[in-house]
Amino acid sequence: MHRIYLDHAATTPLRPEVFEAMRPYFTEKFGNASSIHSYGRESRAALDESRSVIAKALGVSSSEIFFVSSGTEANNFAIKGIAMKMKEEGKNHIITSKAEHHALLEPCTFLRGYGFEVTFVDVDEFGMVHPEQLRNSMRENTGFVSMMYVNNEVGTINPIQSLSTVAHEHGAIFHTDAVQAFGKIDFNLQESGIDLASFSAHKINGPKGIGAMYIKKGTKIENLLHGGGQERGRRAGTENVPLAVGFAKAVELLVREGESVNRRMGDLKIQFRRMLNEKFPFLLFNGHPTDSVSHVLNVSFDSEQIEIDGESLLFNLDLEGIAVTSGSACTSGSMEPSHVLLAMGRDIQTAKATIRFSFGKDTSEADLSFVIEKLESVIKKIGRLKRL
């Protein structure tokens, strides 16, 4: 069967160059980076070099980059670590948005059980947070603000610099989940006014199981993991040198090729949107039409025009060899509507009947033509147009 992968926002395939860069550190270069003998020093040198590569790509000092296991851990580290320090200053109010990833929403909910107040600000119809929305939510006891750089479901880019300015005007620490932004848009952490940021390797053709946390110099934050003195005392646990090397190699390739890849994906997105719009007039396009990343295109089937089961839609596309997702969470076998789309104003049935297409460096025009052909046959099979 001809298979097409269009779920790169979920994870990306590991590039062969990345695998080869990691290979020696699984075998002959296996030393613990905290050991003082030659094996350990060899691993330490690789770890330090990897950190430097990532820091340079982000425009920060290597002393401000800390390796973690994932973007989820980075988000938990940021919000829980700052929350502990907020209490020392008599602050207990946290602000985030209704369209954040669950890796941020769930820690916020957790902290509410420990005396913290959380405000979830609204997003507009494109999934964007406006600075005035944030400004109106700020209080004297606000200590932490977190807004994602790029929405993982619809691809909308938030005005991060303006949002961080508002947070700082009120004396709050500003964090961004930049997992979907890294490598997809140009940004400089120092120039953006960001205090903390989360990253993940497997979104940029690197290995799963490793992420990075940017902690701006001078930011007071409690450690999430306690134990040894690894990661300069910030994150206890034996360092995962092979994955750090893989992360850095993926970043090297990104710096070298990212601009041309993103430009090509942007052209594909424009072309694919036009093809979908011409073929399926009952589709609604989610996310900002211009302030969005090139690799994500999210569409919903308008419930006022067509009746279609979202879960059946994804299942039938998979049978045709097309791997996509809805951006929704599947719980106990039943499709739940996307909290992001609901926050944007979509009705429940429309939100359930959604497809997130996300492109990668090897996605081709032929792939998209194949998807259009198969999508048409699936819709004829399971969809029911309504009389208007």
Q: What is the 3-state secondary structure (H, E, C) of 253-293?
A: HHHHHHHHHHHHHHHHHHHHHHHHHHHCCCEEEECCCCCEC
Give the global pTM. 0.95
> Which structure tokens are listed for 195?
């205090």
- pLDDT digit string, tens, across residues 370-381: 999 999 999 999
pLDDT tens digits along 261-305: 999 999 999 999 999 999 999 999 999 999 999 999 999 999 999
Angle between helices 310-319 and 365-382 (to 10 degrees): 130
CA-to-CA distance for 175 and 188, rounded, in angstroms? 14
Residues 6+ apart with CB under 8 A from 374: 317, 320, 321, 322
Amino acid at 222: E
Answer whether residue 329 shows pLDDT above 50. Answer: no
- Inter-residue long-range contacts of 253-262, CB under 8 Å, 24+ positions, other chains counted: 253/15, 253/17, 253/18, 253/205, 254/57, 254/182, 254/183, 254/204, 254/205, 255/57, 257/361, 258/183, 258/184, 261/361, 262/183, 262/184, 262/294, 262/295
pLDDT mean across residues, the chain = 95
Q: How far apart are CA 123 and CA 265, in angstroms?
A: 26
Query: How, if at all, do strands 117-121 and 93-97 pair?
Result: parallel
pLDDT for 191 equals 84
Cα 22–chain centre separation: 24
Cβ atoms within 10 Å, residue 38: 9
- Give residue-wise pLDDT tens across range 55-107: 999 999 999 999 999 999 999 999 999 999 999 999 999 999 999 999 999 99
Q: Exactly one of 329, 330, 366, 385 is catalytic; which is it?
A: 330
pLDDT at 353 over 90: yes
Q: What is the pLDDT of residue 15?
A: 98
Tens-digit pLDDT profile for residues 204-245: 999 999 999 999 999 999 998 999 889 988 998 999 999 999
3-state SS of the chain: helix, strand, coil percent to 5? 40, 20, 40
C-alpha to C-alpha distance for 255 and 59, rounded to whole angstroms: 12
d(CA 108, CA 323): 31
Which element (helix H / strand E) includes 349?
helix 348-352
Burial class for 24, CB neighbours closer than 10 Å (0-12, 13-18, 19+): middle
The arithmetic mean of pLDDT across residues 323-328, rounded, is 84
Burial environment of residue 290 by CB neighbours within 10 A (0 to 12, 13 to 18, 19 or more): exposed
Question: Is residue 145 pLDDT above 60, yes or no?
Answer: yes
Instruction: State the pLDDT at residue 73.
Output: 98
The Cβ-side half-sphere exposure at 117, using a 13 Å CA radius, reads: 13
Q: Is 330 a catalytic residue?
A: yes
Predicted confidence band of residue 332 (pLDDT cuts 50, 70, 90): very low
What pLDDT score was predicted for residue 386?
A: 83
User: Which of 358, 341, 343, 275 lies closest to 302 in space, CA to CA?
Assistant: 341
For residue 334, the model assigns a pLDDT of 53
> Dihedral of the CA atoms 225, 67, 48, 41 (nearest 10)?
50
Identify the CA nearest to 18 among candidates 163, 297, 208, 302: 208
Task: Report the pLDDT value the prediction gives residue 336, as an integer from 0 to 100.
Answer: 84
**Over pLDDT 70: what percentage of the chain?**
98
Enclosing H/E stretch for 306: strand 306-307
- What Cα–Cα distance (Å) separates residue 242 from each residue in 29, 43, 201, 203? 9, 9, 12, 17
pLDDT at 331: 37
Q: Any idea which residue has 């993926």 for tokens?
A: 250
